[in-house]
Amino acid sequence: FSVPDEARTFDKGKVENVTLNGITFGKATFQPGWKWSESVKPIVKTESCQAPHTQYQISGKLHVVMDDGTETDLEPGDTAFIPPGHDAWVVGDEPVVAIDVTGMADYAKPT
């Protein structure tokens, strides 16, 4: 990710993508205070995040709330699949950094 193929920035966050053999690997960095519904929702104009995420969390703590009310926390070293239909936000004062292999190709692109 030292030289990403594509980078997108938004309020309190950024995504850096590298595509290899048709697979997009995304490195997401979310700063303290980042919340999907405040930072990305105004860009994509959906009620919740519709990107599926298959990710490995490098740093920080991420709280995820699914549209059905299910909640989970992700911490460094966690792997997770987060299906479409969720909100998420950074917990605490450490940035969240995660590598995602399914949800970053179109993440935070205007619709």
User: What pLDDT was estimated at residue 34?
Assistant: 99
Q: 68-83, pLDDT tens digit by residue?
A: 999 999 999 999 999 9
Assigned CATH class of 6-100? mainly beta
Task: Round to whole Å and give the CA distance between 101 and 78.
Answer: 14
pTM of the predicted protein model: 0.95
For the stretch 34-67, pLDDT in tens is 999 999 999 999 999 999 999 999 999 999 999 9
Two structure tokens written together for 60: 């920080």
**What does the pLDDT average to over 28-36?**
99
Provide the residue type at 63 as one letter. H
